Each structure stands twice: as structure tokens, then as C-alpha cells.
A and B are shown apart, each in its own frame.
Chain A
Amino acid sequence: MNQQDLKIINPFGNDKDFAGCSIFGMMNLEGKRFGSKDPVRAITNMHERSNGLGGGFAVYGIYPQFKDYYALHIMYLSKDAKEKTDHILASNFNIIFDEEMQTKPANVINPPLLWRYFVEPKKNRPKTQTEDDCIIEAVMRINTETGQAFLFSSGKDMGVFKGVGFPEDIADFFCLEDYQGYLWSVHGRFPTNTPGWWGGAHPFNILDWTVVHNGELSSYGINRRYLEMYGYKCTLQTDTEVLAYAVDLLMRKEQLPIEIVSQILAAPFWSEIDQMEPKKRLALKTLRQTYGSLLMNGPFSVIIAHHGEMIGLTDRIKLRPMIAATRGDMLYLSSEEASIRLVSPMLDKLWTARGGEPLIGRVRSKKTVAPTEVKA
């Protein structure tokens, strides 16, 4: 990419800045939905960790009236791109409902055209292709075809809201006060190596999987090439994108539990593996040999979420912060303790995990997740 292209994509400057992002996750373990007030307060309290070049939210349980359909959020940088994309959508999906996303004037920079669709894949597709595969194919196609359209949220009964601005401004812009969810994961961005643009804001999403990330993945190149072999195309110019696709590949497609996945993404050192008992040593060695290209190198703390589950993970030598707490039915994950204390001064438990060891929160009964059972 030449310098001119970079300028067009990132009018906010490509200089390298140093700081940390902020991440915050909040989940009701009974699957009860709540509003944006506490997540927004918490992330706003970490204002210093971001610089206004990106903010975003992933919210689960927000579309109970359309819970059986995939909710697609798409940003268009041109009208032309929308026409082309609408054509792709119409030929692959039954579009149940679509509308311009609800927004209001806020302190955000150059918002694109934002559109929301509720769709179901058409029945006349190859027999071997699942509905999920059909969605992924559409995401990859839309995101690569025009260069002007980006499908940034593609799960059922959940949605990603993100853009260029401080997270509190993004919440304002997308009118998040009108939404209720049982799991909120939030990001304030301070881009270091890659441009601050609408598609590059966190969370990164595929199907109902989302990732918010503080840090940088120096292994991006090798991770991306590995994922390309499985049909994932990285288009958003940000390292975190590979993490979202890696999680989709390992957890959804290959059905590995997070306890194993964390040993792939943040594998123990060889020196530690050498000291394990033989059976475990063989297992860990096999994982590193099989999935070596999905090792996430470089400093990171992330919150990974999908329906019913929120997971915190840091790199194996914990070069980025993460702290967890519970109070009643609420689970909190945060870059800083103060943000948790702000929304819940009293806590039942507060703890940190070792680098590379996942913190896992699961909805107690999947049944209670069914959004229709919960009054907003």
C-alpha cells in the first residue's frame, strides 16, 4: 500500500503513539439483561487509556424480537458500495428486515453510512455448507469485494457498535442507552501500529464471537497467513482481527474448549513443557506443533465473548493488565480495578489470573439466556 492510500484510509495520522487501550467486560451470570449505564461509566473512567481514535461495544441479548436471524451491521464508505453489497446479500439471504442504524449527532469523526440487516441464509446453498459457513463466506466476500463496505457484526441476537471516537462518544452516537444486554464487552482504543479508522475499532467480530484487545500482536503476519488457508481474509488493518478469526476456527469450527485454546494462543514456554509429566508434555507438545502458527506473540490482554460466555486472557508473561471481580450475579473483567469499583463499590471476590491462564464466566443455565424470557 502506498503512502497516498494510507492517508485516505487514515486521515487521523499514522504516527506511532505509545499507551494502553482499555478493556472492560460485564456479564450477568443469570442471563438477565441490563442497560449501558454501568459499562459506559466504567470505560469512561479509563478515558486516559484511549486517545479518541477508536471505541466500541459488543452487546449480547439485544435483538430478542429477531433472535432467530443473523443481525448484520455494515459500514459503507460509499453509496455505490451499498448497492453492490445489497446485491450480494439479496442473492444469498432472505432479508427479513433492514434499516439504517439508529444514530444521533455525537462527538465522533466522519461516521460512515451504517446499516443493519436481519437475514437468514437461503435454502438453495451447497448441502455441505452450514448457515454459519454461509455467513462467514458473505463477511469475507463483502469485506474484500468493494474495499468500501465492511460487515463488522454478524451474530444472532447480539451486535457490535464501534467507530472513531472515545467509547463514551460511540455509545452516545449509537444511542446505546436504548439497548439491553446480559453481556457487554467494551473497548477504548489507543492505536499504536495501525490506523485509527471505523473498521479498525474494536470489538472484532465473526458470527457471535467478539474480541476486544489491549496490546499488540507481533505474530500478526504468521497468524494471518495461517488463517487464510481456512478462508479467513484479514481486511481491517488491525492485528486483533486475527484473534477473532483464530477463536472462531478453534472454538466454533474445531470445538476445542477454551482451556485448550488458551494453551494454543498463549502456549507455555518450551522450558516449562519440558518439565511437565509425560502425558501432559506430549499433549502440549502436540498443540504447539499443530497450532504453532496460532501462537499470539507480543503483549496482550483480551476479552473474548460469545453467547453465554465471557473469557479474559493475557499473554503468557502478562505484559498487559487484567483484573476480575464478582458481585452477586455479576462478573467483571477490566484493565483497571477502579472501573469495577466505580460501578460496584462492594465486591464478593477480586482476583487476577496468571499470564496465559483464562478467566472464564459462563451463564449458569443456557436456558436463562433465551432473551424472550427476560423483561427488558
Chain B
Amino acid sequence: MNLIILLAIAFGGALITYFLGKISQKIRDIFAVFISLALAVIAACFYNVSSREIYYTGFLDFPFVLRVNTFSWFFAVTIAVIGLFSIIFSLNYIRKRGNTDFYYSMMLLVIASMIGIVLSGDLVSFYIFWEIMSWSTFLLISYNRGPAISAGMKYIIMSVTGSVVMLVGIVSLYLHYDTLVYTELSGLLNNASSGYILFIIILFFIAFGVKNAIWPLHVWLPPAHSEAPSPFSSVLSGILIKIGTYGIILLIFVIIQINVFLNLGEGILSVRYIISIIGVITILIPTFIALLQDDAKRLLAWSTIAQAGYIILGIAYGTSESVAGGMFHFFNHAIFKSLLFMVVGAVEYRTNGVRDLNSLGGLIKKMPVTFIGGLIGICGLIGVPLTNGFVSKWLIYKTLILNNSPFLAFAALLGTWGTILYSYKLIHNMFLGQLPEKYEKIKKAPFSMQLPIVILSLAIIFFGIIPGLPLHVINSIESGFGMEPLTINIWGIASDTGTINMLNIFTAVLVIGIMVWLIFKVSKKSTVIGQYDNYAAGTTVPKDKYNYSVNFYDPLCRMISPYLKDFIDDFYMSLARSIKNTGNGIRRIYTGDVGHYVIYIILFLALLIFIQINWELW
């Protein structure tokens, strides 16, 4: 199988989908699912393949290279699979909306360009796919209209800013080393001055940081994630922002190489440390802000930023365990965050667009499968043992503690405890507590929504018990980067400095759980009663009036909210306003009076001659 064919299917599929939609909606739906399934299958076929091909030379003098190795395979498969599930989820979600042809083809285009990014083997084609991804994402974010328009605007402005800065970096690399193909570029920076490497790192980091929503470049993410259509939010949060992670890994481990990176700067001022600290800030502030949110999707959006912080922390810290943790967390986050967005999307779909956590409740009785998906999703997000999120976070904490960076570890751990609070609030306010009467008639989510939810939930548990599978892949990626691989086995990690064995934990939980269940079972049966049949000190619980899920963490929120103004966002907005004001000021130059214009011309001429006569500049 050929890489070009994969890309051709991806991009061609996106185009054809649009025109098929003009013929029949049904055929288009089937075709879109088929294309994304094909992408996932073909991408998976490249496992353990390592190949490289020049596929196009017509672009200025840059050869376009496609390459696949374990590193890009890992990302490509994740992208394709999450993309497939989002497309399946969209089938019902988007059916009654307008412009569905546009939606599907853009969705496929985003996925195609992401696959293009991870498969490209040189920086120019990387950049081209990157930009295609940026603008197609912009169009999709704006799809919901209303507030989505300003969200899309914010996104594209930040994204374009990032990518033009990256362009400078790419061109600078080209001019220094005369090539942009990774394989030729890697190692060349060994001899570069550290100032130059720093320059390159900063340029690329701005671009990748915007996409990855690293604090303080995160401000586009909360509105974009919450206003986009929910299946696309899963793509955005699950994989799209991780393309930034991919870029960072590419930069640090392929282009610059790890040994050079680790030696940049000394001690607390070293580059790895500074980026780690940025990662930690990215964990902490958004976690607390997430606590204050009442909009389910906005809560998840802030949570996404925070989780991206773990990934950055892991990768930037640069030990082989932390990098493995970071990459594994990328994988896990793709699974559980897209799952959670789907769960919220399913609820939103059934309640006609309600995402306000204060007005939902009790839906567990109506949408049990969705609830289980949500429960497993938050368990993964928190990192409860036996879910995949646990192992990745464990790796990061462990290496931070053992390498004497307890403060970084503390911040990361504290972030997890914040995560517990907001993610429980999410699940409690949507599914638990009283079911309001207006939702009495809600049906369970349709099959096309339940299927991805169930599969992704199972994946969370599966990779939580068998972390060895992804870790094996990550291990071979790391040895490709020239790092020491971890000592893993299929059930966990077995090193001298700390081991985990998920099988033992799983067995223990299972056996003990069964024993407790048996005790529960043999003791007297209990009768099932309804939600209003509650203890209320002799009175009855009033219907629909008494939903404590409103302002769930009010005491804490009152304490912390004064400190959590998003001043970064304010800063950007005032920057935008001042640019606009400057523009309005400058516009005054063009007064509309032709007399002034003539004077400009004469003055310009006179000034030039005056300068020359006096100083002979030219």
C-alpha cells in the first residue's frame, strides 16, 4: 500500500462527499463513513512499516516527502480512528441541520489534512497541510453561527499568527541547512549555536502552542470547543489540538534532537524546565477555571487545555518516562475527551441543545448507556486506576518525583484533584440528582451515537488494564528518537524505581468486587423506589424546585473566582481593539480633500530632495 494513495483517498473522499450529497443524503452518509473507515484501516496497515517517498517536486524547489514510521503511524491511527467515530456520531447529530454536505466534506478535509501533517516528511508539506487544517477548522467552527462566528474568528486569527511565525522558522531552517526533509535535517542542529536553536524553538512553539492551547496562547480554545458542533468538538479536542503536540515532539525529538534540547540552558533556567513550568501553569489555571463553568462543553474545553498541559509537561521534561507518559496521555486524552464531548453531544441532541449544567439532571434513568460512557470517560480523565489515564499520569508523576522536581509533580497532582471536582460536577449535574419533569419524555440516544460511546468506553478500560500495548508502540518510537526505552510488560511497567501491574490491580478489584457483590446479593433484597420517595425529615421532596446541582461548588467558587479572571483573553481583546483604533486613526490621513493629497505628493518629493541635498544619503 502506498502513502500517496492514502492521502488521495483522504482528500478525494472529502471532495467527492460534497458532490455525493447533492445526489442523495443517504449515499453521502454511507460514503463518508466508508471513507473514514477506509482511512482507519489503511492507516492501521502501516504498522511497523517504515518508508519514505518523494511524492511531488513541483513546488518551488522543495521536494515533498511522505514518510511513515512508528511515530507518525501512532498519530495517524489515532486521528483516523477518532475521526471515524466522530463521523459516525455525526450521522444523527447533524441530520436535521442545514449545509450537511459542507459539514461532512469539511470534516473529512480536516481529518485528511491532519493525516497529511503526520505523514509528511518535510516541513513545507507539513506547513501546507497545517494551513489547510487551519482554515478548514475555521470554517467548521463557524458552522453553528451565532456565537460560533466570533469563536471561529478568534481561532483563525491566533492560528494564522502562529503559522506565519512558524513560516519564518521553517524558512530560516531552510536557509541555514538547505533542506527541510526531516531525515536530512535531524542532527544538523547539533552544531548550531544555542541562541539560534532557541530562536527556532520560540518560533515553532508559538505556532504549536496556539494549536495545542498552551497558556497563554489558549484563549481561542474555550469558545471554539464549546461553539463547534459536538462531534467536531471531539475531533478538535481529541486530535486536532494534539497536532500541536505532534509538532512539538517533531521539533524536540526529530529536528533538534533530545540531547541538544536537554542541554539548552542550565538548571531552573533551562529550556526544558521553562517549558515544563509553562506546562504546569497550563494545567493549573485552566483546571480552576473549569471548576467555575456552567456550560458542559465549556467545562470540557477548559479541561482540554489542562490535559494538554500534562502532555506538554511530559514531553518537555524529557526523560524517557515522562515522554512516554506525555505521548501515552495524548493517546488517552484523544479517547476520553472525544468520548466526553460525544456524551455531552448526545445529551445536547436529545434535550434540543441544552448544555447548561444547572438545568439538567437525572438523565441516568433516560440515557443509561450515555451515562456509563460519561462515567468511564471521567474516570479516564481523572485517572482512576484501571482506566488508561491512570498509567500515563503515573508515568509523569513518577519521573518528576524521582528526578527531584517535586513542585512540578505537586502542581500536576493538584491539577488532577481539581479534575475530580469538575468532572464529577459534569456527570452529576447532567445525569444524577432529580430528573426535571420537562425531561420525562426523553428517549435514549440513537444507535449511531451509542456505538462510538460504547466502543470508546471499552477502549478506556482496555488500555487501562493492558497499557503495555500502546506503551510498546511508544517504546519503539522512543528508541527511534534515540532514547532509552522503558522496561515494560503487557500489564504495566516493571522498573527498579517503581512498578505497576495493572493485571494484579484488576484482579484484586474484580475478585473483591465480586465478593462484596455476593455479600450484597445474599443479604435481604431491597425494594426499588422512585426519585421523589426520599427522606426529607417528614415532608416530601418538592418536584422540580429543589435541584441542588445548581452552583454545585458554590463555596469554593466564591473563594477562587476573584483570582481567576482570564486576563490573557482581555489582553488579546484590547490588543485587537487598539489595532482597530490605530486603523481608524490612520484612516484620517485620507481626509477626502484633494488639496491635502496634492500636498502629500509635493511634500514627499520635496522631502526626498531635501534629504539628499543635506545629507547625501543616497
Is chain B a partner of chain A in the same complex?
no
